[in-house]
Amino acid sequence: MLKVAKVALSVLLLSASIPSLMANAQENGNPNNYDQYIKEAIEQEVLLDAGSPSTAKGMSSLTDKEFNKTLDNITQSPNVSQTTKQNIEKLENAEVILLDFDSDGELINATSSEKGDIRSNFESKEITATESTYGTEPHVRISTQSYLGNQGNTVGKETGAFHRLQTPASNANKIYNGVVADSIVLPTYNIKDALTYEEAAYLYTGVDDVAEVGFKGVNNPKFSIDGWYPMFHAKKYHTVESGDTNGNTQPNKDKYYYDTSKKFNGGDKINGYKVYYYSTDKTLTIREQINYQNIYVIRFDGLGSTGRSVKRLTAIGMGSASSTTTPFHFGFTTPAIWNNMKFLINNSSSSVYPSSVPGLSNDVWTHGGKIDYTKSGQSEKYIFSVK
């Protein structure tokens, strides 16, 4: 019998349907309600199964007893895949990590359901605003080609090479609230030497221009170990337009934070990648799931959750290029891969492929290099290379 009580359940849950799921755990009087986030993750996993019953919708807002009863019925159903059942078992034992950012983009709290205070695990790198987001651009219809050329509005072209897919802003009729992929494969990349040129590679999901979560190739200053680490970025309150600093004499400074306790290598596969928020959260709260083992909950003080767009990027950021066509110095020697990636819609009640998103924008800038893009079925592969 599958139970969510691997981490002791401690509070009554207040909601009863997906639109109000929990209106943010910290606003229900328990800022470290780890179990609620595990329940949400399990519900998300069930809803993505083609054989999920109607009882799955809103199950995370049930009382503990009713949740476990509903979950038992679901996992005993022959219509739910064995893979989903196995993923649920993993999620029941997942570590939940809560991260709180203030209005200046500073990480002020990091706590783990297993280890307590883990703020010391998180290193940061200060960057200028021009390096951080690759912008938000007008909507351009998506196209597929063997080699991606410069296209779209190319906002952010001053700061690197990238392929960005971005949904329209959410509205009353359609909410875009996340990205899900069966897996992502991290590329092999010369992280240490690239950093000497102020360059770094990224695979991440962003919410508007205010929040970014995913993976970054970094040199861990704690242990001097090159690798891919979970990355988190909260922007300060300003608007980046066309990659500039809005006329500021001194560029705005933002920080990337990454979890030094979770190192991955080029070629590693991250299963069950999922990033999502709920439009009903009073405070923007992004959940990131990796390998069905870790659930990061990132809360952004002062930011709301309505009217947001979602973007997915594969990129090489460049901090000191002399022009927008100066090539980067190191590319990927094995591909970055997004397997069966979709956008989550309507508070994760369903998902759609990028090609089915009306007004989806497709923006590419090669920055003097070359982006070899291959799509096989729903698997997307990227090789960034120097010409």
Rounded Cα distance between 250 and 139, Å, is 31
| Total domains in the fold of the chain | 2
For 244, residues 6+ apart whose C-beta sits below 8 A from its C-beta are 130, 158
- The reply to whether 83 and 149 lie within a common domain is no
Residues 181 and 77 in one domain: no
Range(s) of the domain holding residue 321: 98-115+122-386
Q: Are both 108 and 77 inside the same structural domain? A: no
pLDDT of the chain, 387 residues: tens digit per residue: 345 544 333 322 223 233 333 344 444 445 568 999 999 999 999 999 999 998 898 999 999 999 999 999 999 999 999 999 999 999 999 999 999 999 888 999 999 999 999 999 997 765 543 344 444 443 333 444 588 999 998 888 999 999 999 999 999 999 999 999 999 999 999 999 999 999 999 999 999 988 999 999 988 766 668 999 999 998 754 332 333 222 233 344 568 898 999 999 999 999 999 999 999 999 999 999 999 999 999 999 989 999 999 999 999 999 888 899 999 999 999 999 999 999 999 999 899 999 999 999 999 999 999 999 999 889 999 999 997
* Claim to verify: residue 72 and residue 220 sit in the same structural domain: no
Neighbour-count burial for 166-175, b at 16+ CB within 10 Å, e otherwise? bbebbeeeeb
CATH number at residue 188: 2.60.120
Residue 9 located in a structural domain: no
Q: Is residue 259 part of a domain?
A: yes
One domain, residues 41 and 159: no
Say if 8 falls within a structural domain: no
Q: Please, which residues have CB within 8 angstroms of residue 235's CB and are 6 or more apart in sequence?
A: 105, 129, 132, 133, 209, 210, 211, 212, 254
The verdict on residue 30 lying in a domain is: yes
Predicted TM-score (pTM) of this structure: 0.85
Classify residue 24: in a domain, yes or no: yes
Let me know whether 127 and 257 are in one domain. yes
- Residues 56 and 135 placed together within one structural domain of the fold: no
Asked if residue 3 is part of any domain, the answer here is: no
Name every residue whose Cβ is closer than 8 Å to that of residue 172 and which is 6 or more positions away in sequence: none
- Give yes or no: residues 236 and 321 share one domain: yes
Residues 249 and 335 in one domain: yes
Q: Does residue 248 form part of some domain?
A: yes
Residues 160 and 297 in one domain: yes
Q: How far apart are CA 287 and CA 296, in angstroms?
A: 6
